Structure 1
Amino acid sequence: MITEKDNVEIRLLLFGKARDIVGLEMLKEGIPRIITVKDLYTIIFEKICPPLLSIKNSCILAVDHKYLNICNEEEIVLNENSEIAIIPPISGG
C-alpha cells in the first residue's frame, strides 16, 4: 500500500504547447516514488494537468532526461526532485 510517505516531490517541466495551455513552465507535485509509466501518464494528464488531456496522446514524457514509452507496463522509481518533462509535438516553419 502506498502511503503519503512513499511520495516524492517531482518537478514537472512543461514545453511548447503544453506550457501555453497550462500557462506555467514548471510545477512541483508529490507523486508515488514507485509507479508504472502508464500510471504516471494518468496522474500527470488526468489529475495534475487535466487541460492537457486533449494533447496527451501526442505528448512524450521524459524522466530525468530519459524518454518513456506509454505502452511500458514496468515500474519506474522516482527520486526526490526528479524532473519529468512533458514534451508535445514540435511544429513550426
Structure 2
Amino acid sequence: MSDEEGDFDKEEFVTLISSDGFKFIISKEIAEVSGTLRNMLGTSFQEAESNRITLHEIDGVLMEKIIQYLHYNFQYKDQVDVPEFDIPTEMALELLVAADFLDV
C-alpha cells in the first residue's frame, strides 16, 4: 500500500450511480458479474474510460439490493450448495426487471 491513506488502484473499482444520485463503489470484478455492466466497461464507451456508470432507471434502494446480489452471485458461482438469496416481496418485480436489463 502507498504512503497515502485511502489510496487505491482506481482501475480496480467501478462507481455505480443510482437515479437518485447515490454512489456505490464496488470492485470491477463484482460489477462484471452483470453482462450489461461488463459490456459497458469493456468497450470504448465513456463508462469504460471513467469507470463510472449512471443507471437512470434504478434507485438507490434497488441498487443496493442488486449489488448485494452481485456479491452473492460472485461468492457462490462455483458452489453446489447455495443458500437462498433473500428478496423482499415488495421489491421482487423491480428486481426482476433490473436483473433482465443487467443480464444477471
Q: Is the TM value for this pair above 0.5?
A: no
Normalised TM-score (structure 1): 0.29
Q: Higher relative CO (CA 8 A, sep ≥ 6), structure 1 or 2?
A: 1
Higher-Rg structure is 2
Normalised TM-score (structure 2): 0.27
The structure with the greater share of residues assigned to strand is: 1
